[in-house]
Each structure stands twice: as C-alpha cells, then as structure tokens.
Structure 1
Amino acid sequence: MAATALSKHASSTLSGSVFLITSDGRILNLPIPSRSSRDPLNWGAWKRAYAFLALIVFWVVAFVIIQAPSLMFTELSEEFTAEDIKPFRLDVLVSAPTLLLGIGAFIWIPLSLAVGRRPVFLLCTGILTVATIWAGATKNFYQLLVAVCLQGLAAGIVTSTIFLMVIDITFIHQRPQGISAFWSLGGGVSLACLSLIPEVVRFGSTWRTFYRLWTIPSLAAFLLAFFFYPETYFHRPAVAFDGHVLMQSATERVEIYEDWEEVPGGKALPQLPENSKLAASIKELRVWGTINGGWKSMLACYSQILMCVFNPLIFWVTIVNAVAFGGMLSIGMTYATLLAAPPYSLPVDAIALVNMSAAVGALLAWPASGIMISRISRRLSMQSGGVRHAEYYLPAFVLPIICAAASVILYGLAGERRWHWIWIYIAYMLNAFSFVGLGTANTLWVTEAFPRWAAAALAIVGGGSYVISFGISFAILPWIKSQGFARANIEIGVLTLVVGLVLIPVAFWGKSLRQYIHGRWAMNEGGALRPQ
C-alpha cells in the first residue's frame, strides 16, 4: 500500500468511505496492523479461529437457553398453575428474556468501551452459567423467571457487543464474510439444538433436566472465553511506512504525516517484548487493566445513542429489523399450536423439527449474504476507483426483506387454508434465512456508514429492535384474533415491504445525507471502533 495512493482519493476522507482496492485489483489490509503482539490483526489463523469459536459457542449456548421455555410449555404448565404464577402468564418466560436481550445491548456496549471487550465477555458468560444453574435448581416460578431474565440480560451481548468483537479481529474486506458466518453458524447451530429439547426433557421427565444438562455447555462457553479470547479493543499507534508516518483515527481512517513531529502525541514508545511466549500467554489471561479506562467514552456513547435515534439512516434499520422480527414472532408464537391441531395433529417431536428447517435457512444465508455482498461491494469499489462507500452494502438488504415478507405471507395463507404442513416448515426456513441475512446487512451498514458511532448504532439496532419487538409480541395474538390468521400475517408481510422500500431513497441520497450528518457531528467519536 502506498501512502501517496491514499492521499489521491479525497472521497476516502469521508467516514464510511475508504480507499480499499488499488488500480491493479489488490485489496489493502485495512486497518493497518501495528507492530504490537497484542494487536488482534497480528494474530495467527489458529488464534483468530479459537477466538471466533469462543464467540460462536456462546451465541449457541445463550440462544438455546433463552428460547428453550417455548418448547417446554407443556411440562411447565403441569407444574405451575395459574395461581402459582400470578400476576404473570406462562409465556412471560419467553417474552421477558427478549426484553432483557434489548436492555443488555444498552449496558454491555457502553461498558465494553470503558473496561474492554474481554471483561464484559467474561462477565456475561459467568452470569449465564450461574443463571442456568439456578434455573435447574429453582423450586418456584418467580425464581425461574428471575433466572431466565438474567439469561436474557447476559445474552444481550450477542445482539450487540459481539459484533464489535468480530470487527476487532477482521480486516475491512473480511467483515462481510466474518459477520455473515457468525450470524449463520450461530443461528443455524442454535436452531438445530432447539429441535432436541423435547427429547432431553422426556429423557429426564422434567423441564429441569434441560437446565441441568445445559450447565455443561454454559461452563464450556465460560472456559473458552477465558482461555481463547484475549482483549481485542486495541489502540493502534502511528507507524512509519514508505517514508511517511501513517496514523489511523478512531474511525480507521488513515492520516498521512511527513514527519514524526507532525504526529499528535509524538512517536509511540516501543513495546517491550515478553521474556517468553508462556509469559505473553499468561499476560493475555488478565481480566482487568488490559486497556486504559474509557469511562468518558462510555458516557459519550449514551449521548450518541440518543443521537442515533434521530439519525434517519440508523432509525430506518431499527424499524426494518423490528418489523421483520415481528413476523418471526408471529410464526414463533403460533406454529406449535397450529401444527398440533387438526388437520396436522403432529406430535411434539415432529413440531420441534421445524427448527431444523429454520437451521437450513440460517446456514443458506451465509453464501447468499456474506459471499454475495463481498463480490458486489468489490465490483462497485473497482468501478469507483478503488473507493468502497458504505452504500455498497445496501444490496444486502434486498433479498432478506423480500424473504421476510414472503415467509410471513406464505405462513398466513398456509395456516388458514390448511395447506400441507411442509409449507409451514418452508415459511419458517425462509424466515430464518431473512433473519440472518438482515442481521448481516444491519451490522455492516450501521458500523461501516457511521464508524464514529459504531457502538451506539449497534446498541440502537440490536437493543432497540428487541425492545420494540417485546412490545409487538403483546399485539400479535390480538391482531390475529381481530383480523384473522391469514389477513394479519399478510398485513405484517406488506408492512415489511413498505418499510423496506425506504431502501430506494437511501441508495440514491444516503451518501449525501451521511456526509451532512458526519459534517454536523464529526467530533463526537465516543463510540468509535477504536479507543480514543
């Protein structure tokens, strides 16, 4: 990479636009790795794979746990009567963790800016393990409710902070694949595991068997996080290159200086090497003190979250996500009752297998989202002289939005007209496909279009969407009761398409609006991708 080549592309100075591909078609490795061994971009392939594995395992363990009560309603209702659970209903064991998922995003993302990713990750894995042990030992409904709420709070890191952690260990051109793989593998494996829950409960003759058994993978997730995920929130100092000094901002933009005297803060002191690889490995296991305190960044992140609410390019994504998730709730809250009733009358084991079809949809979303958008953005970048604008990720929204609408419309028609049960499974597969694809598109768009506000934007999209969907969950059944099964689901599908159509003006005028927003609030970088 030539420093002079970077300076020739004025458009790359706009946050969300970066000179990524040289004239000969070579992709630049940005951000530029430092010389520090602690820099995650200097990790070897195996070390990075182990870190990615720790994140995937936690995703699977957490999401299976918080979705499990929906597959154990029969056993739970046999133990807890209406009198035992007043003033709640039994389905609060599913809806309450969903709310805490959203709330968790507003806690873990800002906290990760203050103390680092690793302490927050370990805290969440620890909470999840303790809450799972408690759920398996509890003797009354209210303790179980508190335990599942703690599980939802801990799992909130999955919908938000973990994506910043994936970004930490990948170059810009790797992120579409990395983020898509994370969504796809995490979603696909967790959905496949859900189909086994009825067998686990039957084996132990009680719903507590699941929680007691799932304590083992919860503890495994904690150990993987402790041993294989070092701190990745890393400040990269300025480096000398090709007769110049290159300095990367908090938004990963490269600033070029002719001499060290021009660099703010001067030349960084060299990192002292460790005495041995063992000493370096032990040092990486520290939980606290691996980064300088960023409490100011944490507070600034909350003000940015408020700003993101009024940012139309972020607020639109939140609404699209919430509406699409409302469609998933419509299917998830009714498919078991639908398939258990005539003319289907399927047993519980067969009904649980609907999650296998959803797992197939989630896994198919990896090539359809990650590989596709990587190739599209590369081609568009080549056409613009090697500069990749964030708007080149917008095509990633098209297929997920169409599939989200199609899945809920198909489900509504199949359920009301009693089509063959295979159509219910296909609808759920399409819905999982759209959920993973939309998650990939959301993450790429808000973090690449607004790198200054990446943390706050993910909090709004991840947390806000789940909080809104919690409210939507209370409207689904009354909506179906008043409008009819098919009509209500068709209305949700049409609403998804209508909100999705906002993509068209975003594609045409998004860059100009993004440039205006960055120019207006350019100095507010509390939630940026790199420490300040």
Structure 2
Amino acid sequence: MTASILLKHASTDLSGSVFLIDGAGKILSLPIPSRSTRDPLNWSTRKRGFAIFSLIFFATVGLTQLLGLSLVYTSIAREYSTAVSPFRLEWYMTAPSLAMGLGGFLWVPLSLAIGRRPVFLLTSSILAVATIWASFTTSFQQILAAVCLQGLAVSLRFSSMLLMIIDLTFIYQRPQAIAMVWSLVTIFPLAFQVGIPAIIQVEWRTFYRMMIVPCGAAFLLAFFCYPETYFYRPAIAFNGHVLVQSATEKIQIYEGWEEVPGGKPLPNQPFQSRWRRWMSEYNFLTKMPGGWRNMGVCYIQIVMALTNPLIVWVALLNLLIFGGTIVILTTYASLLVHPPYAFSLLHASLSNLAIVIGALLAWPAAGIMTTQLCHRLVMRNGGVRDAEHYLPAFILPILSAPASLVIYGFAGERGWHWFWIFFSMGLNSFACVTLFTVTTLWVTEAFPRWAAPAMVIVGSGSYAASFALSFVMTPRLESQGFARTMCLIGILIFGVGSFAFPVAMWGRRYRYYVYGKWALHEGGSLRPQVRDMEV
C-alpha cells in the first residue's frame, strides 16, 4: 500500500466507500493500526480473543436467564397468584423484554462518555446483583424488579456489544466476527434451556441461585479480559509521509508533521512496571475525549437519524422480524403442550434445539458467504468497497423470515406434524441471525460517523418497538387465528424488505448529502480520529 494508491482511492469524507483491495489483490488491513499499546488492533490474537469471549460469556449468562422466564413463569404464578398488586403476573415475562429493548438508549451514549469498559463492568455488576436478588426474594414485586434489571443489563447485547466487536476487528474480518458472535450468543443460551425444566421442578429459586456463579464469572472475565477498546486514532508516519485517517477511512496525506493540524501527537508515556501498564489498560474509569458532550450529541444524532430513510428502512425490517420472533417464542410452549401435540414442558423445550441448528447454519451463511460475495463485488469495483455491497445479504432474512412465519402459522392453526413447528422455529432463528449480522454491517459501514445512534435505533429501538407490536398481534391471534396473523407479518416483512433494491440503486448517492452540523462529529463513530491528544 503506497501513498499514491491511498491518495488515488481516498474515500470522500462522508462516503462509506473504502479502498479495501489493492492492485495486487491484497486485502488491506483497515483501519490502519497505530503503534499505541492501547490500540485494540495492535493486540495479539489471544488478547482480542479473550476480550470477545468475555462478551459472549456475559451475553450467554444473561440470555439464559431471560429466555428461561417462560419456563419459570408457571412456578412464579403458582406462588404469587394472589399477591401481585399493583402489577400483573404477565409482567414477569414482558417487562424484562421491554427493559432489554430500552437499555441500549442508555448504554450506547454512556459508553461514549465514560468508555466501553466501564459500561461493560457496570452491566456485568447489575446482572450479578439482580441474579442474587432474584434468588432470595420473597415477593412478586421484588422478583419483577430483579428480572427487569437483568433485562436492562443484557440489553448490552443489542447495542454496545456490537460496537465493541467492531472495535476489535478490521473491516474484512467483521462479517465473520459479527456472524460468529450472534450465532454463539443464540446457540449457547438456548442449548442451556433444555435443562431448566428439571431444575425448576425442585424450586424456581434454585435456577437463579445456580446462575450466581456464572454471573460472578462473567464479571471477572469482563474485569480481567476486556481492556478499553474505544480508541481515538492518531496521525501516523508511513513511508516518508504522515497519514491522518478519519472515522470514514478517509486518508489525508501530509509531507511532514508541520503540516498536520494540531501537530505531532505526544508519544506514549513510558511505564515503570508491568503493573502500572496493566492498571492503565484495566482501570475502572476511562478518560474519553469529548466526554459527556459525546453522550449529549449521541441523543441528538439518534433523533436526526430517525429522518434518514436508509436507517429507518432497516429499523422497520428489524421491528417486523423481531415482532414475529417474539410471537413465536411466547406461543410455542403453549401450542406444544396442548392437543394435538400434548408435549410435556421438557419435551416442548427441545424445540430450542431447532433454533440452535438454525443459528448454527446462519454463521457460515451470514459470515463466510457475505465475506466472499462482498470480496467479489469489491474486485469488480476496482478494489473500492461500497457499503451497498452488503445489501445482497439481506435476501437471506427477507426470504427466510416470512417463510418461517407462514409455516408456523399454518402448522399451529391446522395441527400439522410437530416437525413443522420445529422447522419454522429453526428457519426463524436462521433469519434472525443473518438479519442481525447484515443490519450491523450496513448501518455501521454506510454511516460510520453515526454508528452509535444507528445501532441504538436498529438494535434496541427496533426490539422495544417489536415488543409493542407483539401486544398488537396477540389479540389478532385470538380473533384471526395463527395463519392469517403470521401471513400478515410475513407479507409486511417481504414488502419492507423490497426496499433493499431502490436502496442499492440510489442509496450511495443519498449518503453524500447527509446531515449538516453534526455530520462531522466523530464522538459516536466506529473509528474516531484525533490529532492533538496523547495516544
């Protein structure tokens, strides 16, 4: 990679288009790593691997508890059937999901103010404390508050966690990394659901008491394995020139440091010992340039991003697919334990294995296939990767999600063989993981400066809105039946998904004209760059 090549293929400042493959066919490692030890792209594979593992473990522990709510509900209802005022028993299952949807509106902006690591430690602590509380509570009001705190903590999965994965990876690694994480954090919690019925037959508090140790382990992993990953990129010397890289991978080339705005950055301060170096990387608090101002700007960007059709489109698609998934997850157990199936609760929980298989198949489909397809499109485009190169991957969820809902609807209403219930759940899982993967890639690469607010909208915002949608769908299930209701959601998904074609044709042009005053603010970006700070 030479300076002339970088200059020739430099991205426009708000482009979302990146020169990714050079003339020799070599994939470039972007963002360009700095020499700083705080740069996560400078870490060893082992160190980055442990950081990603800590995220996966935390999400697995949290989701195992939240997905077990439907299995624990019967025992909770039996114990507190007459002592729930002023609340309702159903809130035990629904309120944590709402908290999980809304949590991203807190964690993402907060991570821009105090750093990713402090937010990760905070959510890990909340999860552990809430689990201890749930295991020893003696009233419905307390157990409801505890599981809501769990939902608030686990909301990290739909928001900041994806940005944290992006912090740790180069552009060409992201499709497979995101697909892997989404697949694993779906597979592990569901696989553990199989054993929950046997546990709660003893006493439902036993389930929460057994989860205290994994919650403690999740906090320890977060503390010892996840350093701060939000890194402001300095100007770097390269091949006799000085390269300044913006949040959009735009490369500005200067002949010397005297031409660089802000001058030469200060070098790393030498550490007197490994202990001081470790304390610098693993402390509780992180000094973030911009600080609380970044948090405030993020909320402004969230509001403004709601006017961007390229973000709203995928948010609506997520909303509908999330909503259909919630309907399936809240009805399948009741459907299977009643005639004509008459499964036991334990046998009904085996349907989770179908979801596991679907999520497992989505890993290569959303990761490897998307990577290969994008590589071919980039080669045909002269080595420049446009964000629109990820759009063909939307075909997978746009086709599989409606198909899964239609099959589930007819199978549930007409009493088809239980295989079709299981098959539809596996197909829906496949659709969700592929959708989450390509959605993350699209919004963060099309609008890299707006990555944080975009993930709040399409992740947490869509999930919270789908929660409301599931409430609308429940009365329709009773009045219109499974088949009509599920077919309606499927048609809406396919209709909204069809917008991928005009987005592919005209979206690139639109990205050049977005947004005005806050468009150049890098506080919420994927790869923030600063010229006048110590790194």
TM-score of Structure 1 vs Structure 2, range by shorter chain: over 0.9
1:93 CA drift (Å): 1.6
Match for residue 183 of structure 2? 184
**Would you say the 8 A contact 1:70–1:91 is kept in 2?**
no
Work out the CA distance in 2 between the residues paired with 1:21 and 1:520: 32
SS at match of 1:245: strand
Match for residue 52 of structure 1? 52
Work out the CA distance in 2 between the residues paired with 1:495 and 1:441: 19
1:278 CA drift (Å): 4.3
Runs of 4+ in 1 over 4 A off after TM superposition: 10-14, 518-521
1:476 CA drift (Å): 2.2
Work out the CA distance in 2 between the residues paired with 1:173 and 1:43: 17
Q: 1:405 aligns with which of 398, 402, 405?
A: 402
**Would you say the 8 A contact 1:231–1:290 is kept in 2?**
no
Find out whether 1:377 has 2:374 as its counterpart: yes
SS at match of 2:244: strand
Post-superposition CA distance 1:504-523 (Å, at most 9, x none): 11111111111222578632
Task: Specify whether residues 404 and 229 from structure 1 end up closer, same or farther in structure 2 by C-alpha distance, changes over 3 A only.
Answer: same
Query: Which 10-residue stretch deviates more, 165-174 or 278-287?
Result: 278-287
Work out the CA distance in 2 between the residues paired with 1:308 and 1:94: 31
Match for residue 201 of structure 1? 200
1:221 CA drift (Å): 0.4
Query: Which 10-residue stretch deviates more, 63-72 or 428-437?
Result: 63-72
SS at match of 1:157: helix
Post-superposition CA distance 1:147-169 (Å, at most 9, x none): 11111111111110011110111
- Structure 2's unaligned 5+ residue stretches are 531-535
After TM superposition, the structure 1 = structure 2 runs for residues 67-216 of structure 1, keeping only pairs within 5 Å, are: 67-81=67-81, 83-202=82-201, 205-216=202-213
Work out the CA distance in 2 between the residues paired with 1:253 and 1:422: 52
Find out whether 1:345 has 2:345 as its counterpart: no
Would you say how many aligned residue pairs link Structure 1 and Structure 2? 529
**Would you say the 8 A contact 2:10–2:251 is kept in 1?**
no
Query: Which 10-residue stretch deviates more, 187-196 or 158-167?
Result: 187-196
After TM superposition, the structure 1 = structure 2 runs for residues 242-257 of structure 1, keeping only pairs within 5 Å, are: 242-257=239-254
Match for residue 464 of structure 1? 461
Task: Specify whether residues 10 and 47 from structure 1 end up closer, same or farther in structure 2 by C-alpha distance, changes over 3 A only.
Answer: closer
- Normalization by structure 1: what TM-score? 0.97
Work out the CA distance in 2 between the residues paired with 1:380 and 1:14: 21
Task: Specify whether residues 270 and 524 from structure 1 end up closer, same or farther in structure 2 by C-alpha distance, changes over 3 A only.
Answer: closer
Work out the CA distance in 1 between the residues paired with 2:377 and 2:74: 53
Whichever residue aligns with residue 506 of structure 1, its letter is V
**Would you say the 8 A contact 1:36–1:271 is kept in 2?**
yes
Match for residue 359 of structure 1? 356
Work out the CA distance in 2 between the residues paired with 1:84 and 1:119: 38
Match for residue 9 of structure 2? 9
Query: Which 10-residue stretch deviates more, 477-486 or 43-52?
Result: 477-486
1:89 CA drift (Å): 3.1
- Structure 1's unaligned 5+ residue stretches are none
Post-superposition CA distance 1:441-496 (Å, at most 9, x none): 11101100000110010011112112101211212220111211211111111111
Find out whether 1:493 has 2:490 as its counterpart: yes
Match for residue 223 of structure 2? 226
SS at match of 2:120: helix
SS at match of 1:156: helix
Find out whether 1:506 has 2:503 as its counterpart: yes
Whichever residue aligns with residue 478 of structure 2, its letter is K
Work out the CA distance in 2 between the residues paired with 1:255 and 1:106: 34
Whichever residue aligns with residue 500 of structure 1, its letter is G
Work out the CA distance in 1 between the residues paired with 2:57 and 2:99: 20
Work out the CA distance in 2 between the residues paired with 1:87 and 1:343: 37
SS at match of 1:167: helix
Work out the CA distance in 2 between the residues paired with 1:167 and 1:3: 26
Find out whether 1:481 has 2:471 as its counterpart: no
Task: Specify whether residues 138 and 324 from structure 1 end up closer, same or farther in structure 2 by C-alpha distance, changes over 3 A only.
Answer: same
Work out the CA distance in 2 between the residues paired with 1:271 and 1:527: 24
Work out the CA distance in 2 between the residues paired with 1:514 and 1:14: 7
**Would you say the 8 A contact 2:10–2:18 is kept in 1?**
no
Match for residue 517 of structure 1? 514
Whichever residue aligns with residue 149 of structure 1, its letter is C
Query: Which 10-residue stretch deviates more, 86-95 or 31-40?
Result: 86-95
Query: Which 10-residue stretch deviates more, 292-301 or 410-419?
Result: 292-301
SS at match of 2:459: helix
SS at match of 1:328: helix
Work out the CA distance in 2 between the residues paired with 1:241 and 1:18: 19
Work out the CA distance in 2 between the residues paired with 1:415 and 1:9: 54
**Would you say the 8 A contact 1:66–1:151 is kept in 2?**
yes
1:277 CA drift (Å): 3.6
**Would you say the 8 A contact 1:12–1:19 is kept in 2?**
no
Query: Which 10-residue stretch deviates more, 113-122 or 496-505?
Result: 496-505
SS at match of 1:522: helix
Task: Specify whether residues 355 and 135 from structure 1 end up closer, same or farther in structure 2 by C-alpha distance, changes over 3 A only.
Answer: same
Whichever residue aligns with residue 133 of structure 1, its letter is I
Between the aligned residues of both structures, percent identity stands at 54
Work out the CA distance in 1 between the residues paired with 2:249 and 2:216: 36
